Amino acid sequence: MTRPQHNPTTPDAPKQENTVLAVSYLRVSTKEQAEKGGTEEGFSIPAQRQANLRKARELDAIIVEEFVDAGESARKADRPELLRMIEYVRKNHVAYCIVHKIDRLARNRADDVTIHLALKEAGVILVSATENIDETPSGMLVHGIMSTIAEFYSRNLANEVAKGMSQKAKAGGTNGKAPIGYLNVTKRDELGREMRVVEPDPDRAVLVKWAFEAYATGNYSTITLREELIDRGLTTTPTPKRPARPPALSTVHRMLTNPYYKGQVSFRGASYDGLHEPLVATEVWYRVQAVLNAHQVSGERPKPTTTISKAACTAGSAAPDSS
């Protein structure tokens, strides 16, 4: 996400001979949070920014640089703007690093200690806009407790999410985005409750089905199959940020090996009968796996295909139609 070009300080920011300088760090963990509200920054980033500005005023400090990690998990310490901020405070004289909450900075004790130590070595005091932490013994105690709580929350949330995904898979539901050939659809039941289901994509399902049946003949390699699929008009499913495009070779291979197309959902190594409509008969799917294995052993040397060339079609050739 491109950071907005603006001056984080306010017009009435204090002007002093010995100006106290600060940096502001803002973060949301998902792209949805970063965009929620119809603006580039959503709702959360501006709210954090205002809180950090208020804290800077309390400290009689001026925020000279702002760092925004939008859609970056605090479970990762290699966030680009966090790394840039640490590099910035090492090279510039800054008194404070202001965060909205400790959990914006880190979600585990190890990363929290590492980040805090890097700031301390640069002579920077970490300040929370909403929590009472400072460099005093009691402030450090609060800091440690808040960091531990953040780690517990993160791990517990991950476990709850995994538990929910496991239950959904066992019931035959689809976790996440459905593969090419299907669409995630939101419907309402007779009571008006929202239901998220998966349905065949009217534009792509027939091409996916053809791909399995064609590859099962042994007359295609994944390379020639991809070329034929592109000629027939197969594209990836577009998203708000990514237009439809021809499938990559890896996409075609993933498609051919995915048991989802024969009606199964997988989660953490286990398979369950899915609620979605299969696009491929079970015996066809297994024939495809056998051909894939045979091609892998032989280095996948493509056999001559039985597709009709455009010239043959124009001439009215009686060659068998591969479609």
pLDDT at 106: 72
pLDDT at 304: 47
pLDDT at 299: 65
Query: CA angle, 190 as apex, 185 and 264 as ends, to 5°?
Result: 40
E-strand spans in the chain? Answer: 20-28, 61-70, 96-99, 125-128, 182-188, 194-200, 264-267, 270-273
Please, which residues bridge with residue 66 across strands?
Answer: 24
pLDDT at 312: 36
pLDDT at 155: 65
CA distance 260 to 63: 51
pLDDT at 226: 96
Residue 87 sits at φ, ψ, to 5 deg, of -65, -40
pLDDT at 228: 96
pLDDT at 306: 44
**Whole-prediction pTM value?**
0.52
CA distance 225 to 211: 7
Nearest to 200 by CA among 303, 280, 95: 280
Hunting for tokens 């009472």 — which residue is that?
A: 132
Q: CB atoms < 10 A from the CB of 157, how many?
A: 11
pLDDT at 94: 94
Those residues of the chain that have pLDDT short of 70 are 1-18, 30-43, 71-78, 107-110, 134-155, 157-158, 298-323
pLDDT at 134: 63
